[in-house]
Amino acid sequence: MFIFCQRTINGMSSKRIELRQNRLRTYIFYLCTVLLNLYIKMKKSAIIGLITIAICVCFLVSLNADTSNYSTFNEAAKESREFHVMGFWEKSKGMFYDAQKDANHFSFFMKDAKGDVKKVVYNGTKPQDFEKSEKLVLIGKMDDGTFYASKILMKCPSKYNDNLVEVKQDGKVKQYN
């Protein structure tokens, strides 16, 4: 169970993972002790109810361990596992995709949350409407200053943001396009 938790946690430091695992071990030990003491004194239906509660608690703790945090390129360069890196496409540096030469090679530059710009290589076709995306989340590994993405998730602009306006305190309306 602890190996499963460690494998599914993305973007967390090893100390934080270790703390969560120790906390989970403590909870399980405590529940086993309580169940053992109650087994001597209680009926079988109460014991089954407590075991069900213990399983639910373990399930909720494992769901909490499955959360992922977004990392930066610097954090991804430190370890050789997969990271989730959020950022923006650096439009000034362009992108490279030639469907006739190699339809499964797409590369571009991305700026992460800290402002670091790195080259990203994705071995797949260029996602549809890539140019329209507001934010990108890349899942992959860093190798020699280049981020090799296994997945690209895009946040595209909302259709409800077309006619945004801001009403200032003086009553003037400023329209965004």
Strand ranges (E), the chain = 83-89, 95-97, 106-112, 117-122, 135-143, 146-155, 165-167, 173-175
Q: Is the pLDDT of residue 81 over 90?
A: no
Q: Is the pLDDT of residue 89 over 60?
A: yes
C-alpha distances in angstroms, 105 versus 9, 122, 133, 134?
Answer: 29, 6, 19, 22
d(CA 76, CA 138): 11
Tokens representing residue 7 in the block: 């494998």
Q: Which residue has the higher pLDDT, 100 or 60?
A: 100
Of the listed ranges 7-16, 90-99, 100-109, 155-164, the least confidently predicted one is 7-16
pLDDT in tens, 131-155: 888 888 888 999 888 999 988 888 8
Averaged pLDDT, 76-85: 85
Average pLDDT, the chain: 77
Where are the chain's structural domains?
A: 2-65, 73-160
Asked if residues 97 and 105 have their Cβ atoms less than 8 Å apart, the reply is yes
pLDDT in tens, 2-27: 444 444 444 555 667 777 777 878 88
pLDDT in tens, 41-70: 667 777 788 788 888 887 877 776 545 677
Q: Which of the four CATH numbers 2.40.50.140, 1.10.10.10, 2.40.110.20, 3.40.50.2300 does domain 73-160 have?
A: 2.40.50.140
